[in-house]
């Protein structure tokens, strides 16, 4: 393989690492803001935590992928790494979709129950009208 091709692969890997690191910083800012908003809507805290966990898993996988890309010696390695990464991400997304759906219905049930409890308390509490 020519020196230029090896350098291109290394540069692509380095660019991928830098991009993922910048995205990681943006994710931290986004989830910091989302965490603050959960105090107003406590029933979404579980969903927010799930999403943050998923994002961290994907960013970690992307950082590993970018690091592996920077070590690729040939375009065949580059292609193989990309295919393996995409397959793993698709599998992970499927598993997370199932997990998130379960958490969503759990949160919805809890929010509904809390709403019913408030309505019941409001309806059943004694009223002192003077």
Q: pLDDT at residue 129 above 60?
A: no
Handedness of CA 69, 73, 79, 85 (dihedral sign): negative
Q: For residue 34, name the pLDDT band (cuts at 50, 70, 90).
A: low
Q: How far apart (Å, rounded) are the C-alpha atoms in residues 87 and 74?
A: 20
Residue 125 lies in a domain: no
pLDDT of residue 72: 80
Neighbours of 54 (CB within 10 A): 17
Q: How far apart (Å, rounded) are the C-alpha atoms in residues 77 and 62?
A: 16
Residue 130 lies in a domain: no
Number of structural domains in the chain: 1
User: Does the predicted model carry a pTM greater than 0.85?
Assistant: no
The domain of 8 spans 3-120
Residue entry with tokens 């709403």 = 115
Residue 67 lies in a domain: yes
pLDDT tens per residue across span 57-110: 988 898 888 888 878 888 898 899 999 999 999 999 999 999 999 988 888 887
pLDDT tens per residue across span 38-69: 666 666 777 888 888 898 898 889 888 888 88
Residue 128 lies in a domain: no
pLDDT of residue 6: 75
Residue 9 lies in a domain: yes
Residue 129 lies in a domain: no
Residue 24 lies in a domain: yes
Q: How far apart (Å, rounded) are the C-alpha atoms in residues 33 and 13?
A: 31
Residue 36 lies in a domain: yes
pLDDT of residue 91: 97
């Amino acid at each position: 393989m020519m020196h230029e091709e090896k350098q291109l692969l290394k540069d692509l890997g380095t660019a991928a690492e830098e991009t993922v690191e910048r995205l990681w910083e943006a994710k931290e800012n986004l989830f910091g803001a989302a965490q603050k908003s959960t105090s107003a809507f406590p029933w979404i805290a579980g969903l927010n935590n799930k999403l943050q966990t998923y994002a961290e898993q994907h960013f970690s996988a992307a950082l590993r992928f970018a690091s592996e890309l920077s070590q690729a010696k040939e375009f065949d390695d580059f292609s193989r790494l990309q295919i393996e990464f995409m397959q793993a991400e698709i599998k992970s997304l499927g598993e997370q979709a199932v997990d998130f759906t379960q958490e969503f219905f759990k949160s919805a049930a809890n929010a509904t129950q809390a709403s019913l409890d408030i309505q019941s308390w409001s309806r059943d509490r004694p009223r002192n009208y003077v």
